[in-house]
Amino acid sequence: MTLIIAIKCKDGLVFASDGQATSFSSGGPIRQKCKKIYQLGELLVGASGSLGTIQRCRDCVNEYAISISENGLDHTIEEEFPDGKIRRIPIRDKIRQLIFEINKDELERHKAFYGKAEGAPLADILIGLFDKKAGKFRIWHVTPDGGEELLEEIGYGCTGIGDVFAYPILRDYYTPDLDAIKAMLVAYRVIKDAIEVGAYGLGEPIDIWIMKRNEENEKIEIHNLREEEVAALHDAYIMWKDMENKIFKEFMREFERI
């Protein structure tokens, strides 16, 4: 099980994930620590699914990372079609096509071996970037079938089986006016609570990244939180939960008087 979330805040993007992978040996499943968020140039890429398929999808995104960073998602590139003609297509369509083909190959191979599509080693991708042409931070979700959605209008996105635990918390606590510090705390809570509630497959360490734009030099700054920074978020998380418990108890005392 995996959980990766992306949150748009008023001064950037925050990505977060759990840090556990489950591999299988002849003796049974084995827990391992695993990075699920990657920096590719000025992009943040989070992915859920099979590691091998994720690696192939990550490589195809990396091939176009510089072009996306410099020219935005709607930039067009030259593509040779089966009829031999050269046409220009949006770079986002090229990446979607490549991700679709990678997942399709894995699905067909899996079906040929096991006789069914269930359990095929697919990859679901979340990409965070500052689109210089559009002048805004974007969260781009590309599904295994090559479908896409831009999630910055919603303000957040999730991938992984653990997303069922994340959406209720994000719905309750996300607001567009969150700054990066508050967004990181919300992200930490989402992942931490999902780890506590999830019965299988989610685990620590919690991995958190922040992407901001330096207004002075217009450079994109990406930072992977250090262990002590995550520990500070944990302290704030404990304080948040304690205050919630106190408010709930006070509410119940008032409720009993009604």
Q: pLDDT per residue over 10-68, tens digit each?
A: 999 999 999 987 655 555 556 678 889 999 999 999 999 998 999 999 999 999 999 99
**In this structure, what is the dihedral angle of CA atoms 131, 141, 15, 211, given to the nearest 10 degrees?**
-10
**What is the tens place of the pLDDT at every residue in 151-207?**
999 999 999 988 888 998 899 999 999 999 999 999 999 999 999 887 567 889 999
d(CA 36, CA 224): 12
**Amino acid letter for position 65:** A
**Does the N-terminal peptide bond of residue 29 adopt cis geometry, omega within 30 degrees of 0?**
no
Range 235-250 average pLDDT: 95
208: exposed, middle or buried (Cβ count in 10 Å: 0-12, 13-18, 19+): buried
pLDDT band at 80 (very low <50, low <70, confident <90, very high): confident
* Predicted local confidence at residue 27, as pLDDT: 53
Contact present, 38 and 88 (Cβ < 8 Å): no
The closest alpha carbon to 4, from 50, 36, 40, 35, belongs to 36
φ, ψ of residue 29 in degrees (nearest 5): -70, 145
* Predicted local confidence at residue 31, as pLDDT: 66
For the beta sheet containing 148-150, the strands, ordered from the edge strand earlier in sequence to the opposite edge, are 37-40, 43-49, 123-131, 136-142, 148-150
* Predicted local confidence at residue 44, as pLDDT: 98
Whether the pLDDT of residue 249 is over 80: the answer is yes
* Predicted local confidence at residue 33, as pLDDT: 80
* Predicted local confidence at residue 186, as pLDDT: 97
* Predicted local confidence at residue 64, as pLDDT: 95
**What is the tens place of the pLDDT at every residue in 83-134?**
888 989 999 999 999 999 999 999 999 999 999 999 999 999 999 999 999 9
Chain centre to alpha carbon of residue 34: 14
